[in-house]
Structure 1
């Protein structure tokens, strides 16, 4: 997970938005539209970042396709300290 977090947040463009998405989902589960609104980021950009975060097991989804909510995974929660370390380095 540590390598994935460094890659997703520091090693590629969009790391800042991904960190903001993680922080927003830490507050409460949200769907893609809610994330786009609260972060003032284009919906398609949010979808791209959600796909990347899901692919690396940082987030997971639940619910039907239209109102699908996103949550932080248990695996991410076990590695929260690494996330904080990466944030400090950003």
Structure 2
């Protein structure tokens, strides 16, 4: 999981936006539209990042199709300390 986190947030384009998404989801579950509005990022960009985060087991969607909420996974939460370390590096850039 740690390698995946470094890749998602540092080694690939869009890492800073993915950090922002995870931080918002830590506050509470949200849908893609809420994230797009809160972060002032295009909806399609948000869905792309959510797909990447889902593929790497960082987020999981609810079962509903319309207004689908995204949650942080338990696996990701076990690596929260690593995420904070990575996020601090991304913030410093």
Q: TM-score, normalised by structure 1?
A: 0.97
Where structure 1 has 5 or more consecutive residues not aligned to the other structure, the ranges are none
The runs of at least 4 consecutive aligned structure 1 residues that moved more than 4 Å come to none
After superposition, give the CA deviation of every residue in 1:14-51 in whole Å (9 maximum; x if it has no partner): 00000000000000000000000000000000000000
User: How many residue pairs were aligned?
Assistant: 90
What are the within-5 Å matches in structure 2 for residues 13-28 of structure 1?
A: 13-28=13-28
Cα distance in 2 for residues equivalent to 1:30 and 1:63: 13
Specify the alignment match of 1:76 in structure 2: 76
What are the within-5 Å matches in structure 2 for residues 41-56 of structure 1?
A: 41-56=41-56
Q: CA RMSD in A?
A: 0.7
Where structure 2 has 5 or more consecutive residues not aligned to the other structure, the ranges are none
Cα distance in 1 for residues equivalent to 2:63 and 2:27: 18
1:71 match: secondary structure:
strand
Q: TM-score, normalised by structure 2?
A: 0.94
